[in-house]
Amino acid sequence: MENIAKKPRVQLDRDAWIAGATEVLAEEGIAGLRVEVLAKRLKVTKGSFYWHFSDRRDLLMGVLHHWKEGRIRDIRKQTRTQPGRELEQIYHVIDVYGASRSRRGMMIELAVRDWARRDAQAAAIVAEVDDVRLRCGRELFLACGVPMEEASSRCMLLYAYVFGVSLMIYDRFDSDIARLKRDIADLIARSGTARMAAPG
């Protein structure tokens, strides 16, 4: 009888488990993130999970810290700009975070926030990300000459808009959604204090 070659066993590193867990979190929420289900989805044995994690909680903390590092890195990237181009960058932030192309990222964000409502460690990490998000955004408004209190308010309004619009289905509300979004961006970005010309 001929020997039948066995298929090599799939080997996943810690990052691959975390990436898979993040996808499940986005689709099913924290309740759906179970080791058995994840192993089946990744086509590996449950036993291989314990090469990288002590238990489910260890995996969950890995997911949280991976999300935190990614969000903070992206926030700093999106809010970094050259002197004199801060207003243009505010419009860019509104566009990037309010666009449908960010749907997957928003699904992950909302899943993490829902998780944070029930878990103190998740809540602490979300608070840390939000603090960085708001401070970086506020710096853009301050650089446009907006006073501190107004800069704080406008930055909060910016993120209230981009998070809020991600939860809404508004296609039938207005015949020109693109114009509607431009008008909202103008209301957020252009204050009476900083009368810079909007980017063309």
Tens of each residue's pLDDT in the chain, 200 residues: 445 545 555 578 899 999 999 999 999 999 999 999 899 999 998 888 998 999 999 999 999 999 999 999 999 999 999 899 999 999 999 998 877 656 778 889 999 999 999 999 999 999 999 999 999 999 999 999 999 999 999 999 999 999 888 888 888 998 998 899 999 999 999 865 444 444 44
One-letter-per-residue 3-state SS of the chain: CCCCCCCCCCCCCHHHHHHHHHHHHHHHCHHHCCHHHHHHHHCCCHHHHCCCCCCHHHHHHHHHHHHHHHHHHHHHHHHCCCCCCHHHHHHHHHHHHHCHHHHHHHHHHHHHHHHHCCCHHHHHHHHHHHHHHHHHHHHHHHHCCCCHHHHHHHHHHHHHHHHHHHCCCCCCCCCCHHHHHHHHHHHHHCCCCCCCCCCC
Inside any domain, residue 105:
yes
Quote the number of domains for the chain: 1
Which domain covers residue 163, as residue numbers? Answer: 14-190
Inside any domain, residue 2:
no
We report the CATH number of the domain holding residue 151 as: 1.10.357.10
Sign of the torsion angle spanned by Cα atoms 75, 142, 144, 184:
positive
Inside any domain, residue 195:
no
Inside any domain, residue 132:
yes
Inside any domain, residue 3:
no
